[in-house]
Chain A
Amino acid sequence: DAKTTQPPSMDCAEGRAANLPCNHSTISGNEYVYWYRQIHSQGPQYIIHGLKNNETNEMASLIITEDRKSSTLILPHATLRDTAVYYCIVRVVNDYKLSFGAGTTVTVRA
């Protein structure tokens, strides 16, 4: 699987959009981009995934660059409950393995 690079931490103001970057410059054409988050003392929670196109669901939006070498997870209106570690993961289609890296610790401040 392609490796991902994320900033170790970032702060965000409550009510503002949080833009979380992820670099995956060695991604292959058959690899998906997934985002998960883990709130303290809980199991990870799936947020969204995409292959080529941008995606949006009730939790977030995923923007993938045209060359697919990077992506951004957007939390449109961050709340204090969005404070968590966010993981960007790249996974090959039909591969069962999902490798979690260190992620980005996001702190939403009032």
Chain B
Amino acid sequence: DVKVTQSSRYLVKRTGEKVFLECVQDMDHENMFWYRQDPGLGLRLIYFSYDVKMKEKGDIPEGYSVSREKKERFSLILESASTNQTSMYLCASSLFGSGRTGELFFGEGSRLTVL
């Protein structure tokens, strides 16, 4: 089975702190994604990557950056955390190719609280 592992299930950080959310997948998938999920707003795409060192902005990239130095790992970085970044963060991966690109495998999520 595909496994997408997110480093922390729950985090509590203070405003202004730098926050790293790590995601690792074990199925050699080309594509990796970061979403956030908020009540009433659904899942929103922050960034995605289709190859090592490649990244593309999603729908809400402001306040975030990403890093993909290795194929299996995709990191989400909050340079200076703010309270409006309190959310559930979900990492996903998929194979490249037509329909398979949309067949996302998600991690369990990281619930971040910024105080």
Contacts and interface: CB of A to CB of B under 8 A. Distances in A.
A18 B79 CA distance: 45
B75 interface: no
A91 B103 CA distance: 11
Given A94-B101, A96-B56, A43 B42 contact: no
Contact of B50 (A34, A41, A91, A96): A96
B98 A94 contact: yes
Interface residues of A, number: 24
A85 to B, nearest CB: 9
Interface of A: 32, 34, 36, 41-46, 49, 51, 89, 91, 93-103
Interface of B: 4, 31, 33, 35, 42-43, 45, 48, 50, 56, 58-59, 90, 92, 98-99, 101-109
